[in-house]
Amino acid sequence: MPAQPAALTCLVQHNASLRRYNSFGVEARARWLVRVRAPAALPEVLARPEWAGHPLLVLGEGSNVLFRDDFDGLVLKLDCQRVEALEGTRECHRVRAEAGRNWHGLVRWLLEHEIGGLENLSLIPGSVGAAPVQNIGAYGVELDPCIEAVECYDLERGQFAELDRADCAFGYRTSRFREQGTNPRFMICAVRFALPADAPLVLHYPGVREELEALGFREPGPREVSEAICAIRRRKLPNPAELGNAGSFFKNPILPVAQVEALSRENPGLPVYPAGPGTAKIAAAWLIEQCGLKGLRDGEAGIADSHALVVVNHGQATGAQLWSLAERVRDTVQARYGVRLDPEPTII
């Protein structure tokens, strides 16, 4: 079948509003917004001369980005959403999902096909293509061990490429894709997952077993764990459709064990979690709450009443106002505890 012309595989908007494309709901404009329906069209789309030399931002569902200002360049969204089961083994399910698929939609697809392993990542906002960028994780499960490979378009070489898990340089809430900023080399087109057929349920994270018991699930499976995780998230985190936010705004700091031990002696009750040899992870939400900042509001920008990690837009806050509030939180925590909080969202 001959390739379709770019006009049929993409939609171009000039001076486009990005309000509906970011979960904070802040107003920002892009010089161009291009929605691509099929990755095969990328070489032709990206070769157009009008945006040569301008910065490029690849945007998923905008659930992990804060626009402080307009974007004087090209914002590109991939709308491809296909999911398919690949040939696997008795021990492993293999699944391929295209970048534009909603993340929670993928988790639901897996559960409908009786494939477990990602149920603890239920209801995380965003798209499949954005998940490796942030290397998402929640409730005791991290994404990167579940990834077999990431299919990309290599902007530097002008060709499609495939990166296996080791090539993606995954770390805590980061990857080689996150470090690209607005000068990306790799654009994620699809993700391939390898999920053990007998993946054990992960129930040790605080609150998960209690939620399962409250829901009456005495012998839970992946579907029931997903339901419990969704219930917890809905209770703790505001719905972006009702109160603009990007979920957890700050990463949990990972620090040398000696520093964490000193902080724990000075601050009884500080939640501490293992994080690898010589390091430990502490709860950023606890630090913020101890500083009296939970529920803080400055005009239309605020911290959620239900969760100290969530920066919220109460209505008409600008991206600059939300960032100013986040900096205030960061500076207050650092002054009191000597710990710097780093943002999870990409700040544009």
The end-to-end CA distance of the chain, in Å, is: 40
Q: Distance between CA 251 and CA 288 in Å, rounded?
A: 12
248 is annotated as an active-site residue:
yes
Q: Please provide the DSSP assignment of 277-334 as one string.
A: TTEEEE-HHHHHHHTT-TT-EETTEEE-SS-TTEEEE-SS--HHHHHHHHHHHHHHHH
The conformation of residue 53, written as its DSSP 8-state character, comes to T
CA dihedral of 138, 275, 93, 90, whole degrees rounded to 10: -140
- Contact between residue 274 and residue 245 where contact means Cβ atoms under 8 Å apart: no
Q: Distance between CA 133 and CA 177 in Å, rounded?
A: 5
Catalytic residue (one of 173, 178, 233, 330):
173
Q: Distance between CA 180 and CA 173 in Å, rounded?
A: 14
Catalytic residue (one of 98, 211, 224, 344):
344
Q: Distance between CA 88 and CA 181 in Å, rounded?
A: 35
Q: Distance between CA 325 and CA 298 in Å, rounded?
A: 7
- Contact between residue 149 and residue 170 where contact means Cβ atoms under 8 Å apart: no
Catalytic residue (one of 31, 224, 248, 330):
248
Q: Distance between CA 276 and CA 270 in Å, rounded?
A: 18
344 is annotated as an active-site residue:
yes
235 is annotated as an active-site residue:
no
Reported as type and span, the H/E element at residue 83 is: strand 83-86
Pairing verdict, β 83-86 and 92-98: antiparallel
- Contact between residue 199 and residue 221 where contact means Cβ atoms under 8 Å apart: no
Active site residue ranges: 173, 248, 344
